[in-house]
Chain A
């Protein structure tokens, strides 16, 4: 779906056409769910957050301004919902206590095609990032947000965001290098 088609879908949603909402979100479904799952590390919570994001998006679609990318707006909503949930719990605890069952599908390369092996390794590397690094990395990669948008969403200075991204890439690169040596 290109930007023009997306805008038509958004307009339809604003007019109350419920059938337009599924395809509009469907465009970002995988990225959004993946982002929430990676960030909170728990399938059930990721699904709850996904639904919460959908509700807020649907309820607030009239307030959406075309000056912002729809994907950025959507991911900002998801990010804020996730942060609210994360704040309730001990952040570090949440990141380290990833339920193995929830990520089994992600980490099990047998379920995936061989061509995706590199992707699996990268995702495993993403798991090694600190919370802040993961937050920035996922907003960039899954949310396709610019660094200025990420800085605004996370309330961090632009330089800090750039630094998190820089170290994320460095860490992932290092992790992949170690994996290849084994």
Chain B
């Protein structure tokens, strides 16, 4: 690899070198290269000067009073976990995350019901829904009325009297049979 290619590679890896986010042998290699290469050394120096100057010059700032008011508001704004779960503070994404999840669950549930109904395989959803769809109010009312009539018939019948009549008949038959035996 010629010098130019090495310098080009340093350009690429310079920031990782600054962060020491490279393997030790690579860092040693660049250290050695920097000791001998004016161009790369000057690139590194310029970069550090620019970054350093920016860091030293934050002109914009909040007024102390404003900052303190903000902090005061923030630390007093702690809400219960319950409220936070339902109505999260912060970004729009977070705020609507719960509603979104709920909507997704709802849509999935509807899809599941549709699939269950449309499939040929028997399943609970289908059975329940068929029962609901097949429910015939009139048929059930007729059955109830029939039962009621039967109950009334049972109540109206004079069973005791019938039994008495049968009993009397039996006695008469016995008497007659006795007569025949004496003869």
Contacts and interface: CB of A to CB of B under 8 A. Distances in A.
A141 B51 contact: yes
Interface in B79-104: 84, 89-93
Interface stretch (B68-76, B153-161, B174-182): B68-76
B54 A119 contact: yes
Contact of A119 (B11, B53, B67, B91): B53
Given A147-B21, A162-B15, A118 B70 contact: no
Given A54-B74, A122-B54, A33 B60 contact: yes
Nearest to B43: A169
Contacts of B56: 119
A30 B61 contact: yes
Interface residues of B, number: 39
Interface string B108-126: 0000000000000000000
Contact of B74 (A16, A34, A55, A173): A55
Contacts of A29: 61-62, 67
A169 B47 contact: yes
B62 A118 contact: no
A125 B94 CA distance: 35
A15 interface: no
Contact of A47 (B13, B46, B62, B77): B62
Nearest to A60: B90
A47 B66 contact: yes
B57 A50 contact: no
Contact of B57 (A80, A122, A159, A162): A122
A21 interface: yes
Contacts of A52: 90-91
Contacts of B14: 166
Contact of A51 (B13, B58, B74, B92): B74
Contacts of B37: none
B78 interface: yes
Contacts of B90: 52, 55-56, 59, 81
A34 B57 CA distance: 10
A95 interface: no
Interface of B: 11-16, 19, 21, 46-47, 50-51, 53-62, 66-68, 70-71, 73-78, 84, 89-93
- The 8 lowest CB-CB distance pairs between A and B, nearest first, are A119-B57, A18-B75, A30-B58, A84-B91, A54-B74, A22-B71, A34-B58, A56-B90
Interface of A: 16, 18, 21-22, 25-26, 29-31, 33-34, 37, 47, 50-52, 54-56, 58-59, 80-81, 84, 88, 105-106, 111-112, 116, 118-120, 122-123, 126, 140-142, 146-148, 159, 162, 165-166, 169, 172-173, 176
21 contacts: A21-B71, A22-B67, A22-B71, A33-B60, A33-B61, A34-B58, A47-B62, A47-B66, A50-B70, A59-B84, A59-B89, A84-B92, A105-B60, A106-B59, A126-B54, A140-B51, A147-B15, A147-B19, A147-B21, A166-B15, A173-B46
